[in-house]
């Protein structure tokens, strides 16, 4: 719809506040101790988790952003899929969702209706109910969800608990923001753009549904901070992720566009955040850009026991054929991530 995307200065997960700045802001917030809060600010995990009984904990997440595509219905589907992802990455099941809506008075209300319908379609696909929400007028359209899910505390999956010897699986291809930047600049490729949009609409529900019979030790969804920054969260001080860049699943034309310097401000913020923590020597510039590229509604980065890795990958590929094994987890070496 004309004017929908043009009204936005940034869009998708590339609009996120930089990871380093966000860390500083959160550290300044007063926090109350509660033993039932299993995951909160201090954990830098994907969602908050609050235990309500020995067998049950609630997962809560909120995610919203401005459009990265011109079609309001498609945007609604992408935003909802992205918001649901945090529940899946923690091994939980979503229960219900609430809408968050910002919308300019000047845009046609048909665009608002289409955006909400797209979000509702993904909520329905997730098998849950849309229970309400909140809306305000704003200069730019923005949309997302608050999602409540549940998990058995003993089956909760964190983003920072890999084990030495684990194998790393990535379930979606990289390059979303670079491909959309090319399209917005008028030099994109129609097939590549369609592939990126299809990937963003894809629920991580199907990959996460395979977790229960395998030894999944850690998981995170790769979104606005890019693969490397999310990888740093997984490695922390105890482990090193060894990533084979030749095995990365990449969207069509993503490498070509990255080589033409069609990069994003979000990617540059991610590069600044990672800084010298990762040695990029020997990694081609275009591959570097894809490692920093913000992913809107990206895939799951899974750390699974070596004995289960091949079987889990095969199971995931039944629904998500682009999934690949991209590396391994080692005990901590000098750097938190080693790129091959």
Cα dihedral: 225, 228, 229, 233 (round 10): 130
The CA distances from residue 334 to 224, 241, 281, 282, in Å, are: 26, 11, 15, 18
The CA distances from residue 219 to 58, 198, 215, 300, in Å, are: 18, 22, 11, 7
Q: For 163, what's the count of Cα atoms within 13 Å in the CB-facing half-sphere?
A: 10
**Distance from the Cα of residue 130 to its chain's centroid:** 21
- The length of the chain, given as a count of residues: 340
Q: For 152, what's the count of Cα atoms within 13 Å in the CB-facing half-sphere?
A: 4
Let me know: does 299 contact 223? Beta carbons within 8 Å: no
Any catalytic annotation for residue 219?
Answer: no
Task: Give the separation between CA 44 and CA 215, rounded to whole angstroms.
Answer: 22
> What is the radius of gyration, based on Cα positions, of the chain?
19
Which among 8, 13, 102, 219 is annotated as catalytic? 13
DSSP 244-260: -GGG--B-TTHHHHHHT
Provide the annotated active-site residues.
13
């Amino acid at each position: 719809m004309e004017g929908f995307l043009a009204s936005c200065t940034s869009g998708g997960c590339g609009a996120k506040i930089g990871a380093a700045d966000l860390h500083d802001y959160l550290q300044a917030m007063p926090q109350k101790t509660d033993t039932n809060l299993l995951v909160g600010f201090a954990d830098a995990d994907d969602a908050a988790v609050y235990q309500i009984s020995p067998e049950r904990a609630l997962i809560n997440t909120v995610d919203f952003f401005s459009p990265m595509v011109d079609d309001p219905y498609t945007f609604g589907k992408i935003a909802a899929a992205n918001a649901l992802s945090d529940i899946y990455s923690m091994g939980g099941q979503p229960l219900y969702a609430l809408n968050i809506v910002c919308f300019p008075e000047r845009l046609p209300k048909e665009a608002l209706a289409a955006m909400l319908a797209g979000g509702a379609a993904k909520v329905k696909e997730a098998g849950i109910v849309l229970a309400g929400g909140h809306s305000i007028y704003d200069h730019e359209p923005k949309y997302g969800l608050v999602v409540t899910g549940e998990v058995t505390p003993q089956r909760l999956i964190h983003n920072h608990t890999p084990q030495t010897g684990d194998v790393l699986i990535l379930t979606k291809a990289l390059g979303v923001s670079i491909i959309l930047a090319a399209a917005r600049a008028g030099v994109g490729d129609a097939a590549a753009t369609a592939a990126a949009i299809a990937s963003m609409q894809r629920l991580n529900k199907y990959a996460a549904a395979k977790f229960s019979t395998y030894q999944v030790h850690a998981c995170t969804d790769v979104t606005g901070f890019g693969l490397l920054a999310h990888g740093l969260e997984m490695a922390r001080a105890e482990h090193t992720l060894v990533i084979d860049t030749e095995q990365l699943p990449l969207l069509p034309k993503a490498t070509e566009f990255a080589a033409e310097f069609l990069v994003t401000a979000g990617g540059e913020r991610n590069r600044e955040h990672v800084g010298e923590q990762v040695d990029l020597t020997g990694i081609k510039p275009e591959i570097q850009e894809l490692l920093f590229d913000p992913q809107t509604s990206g895939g799951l980065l899974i750390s699974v026991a070596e004995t289960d890795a091949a079987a889990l990958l095969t199971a995931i590929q039944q629904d998500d054929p682009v999934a690949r094994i991209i590396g391994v987890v080692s005990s901590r070496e000098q750097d938190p991530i080693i790129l091959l």
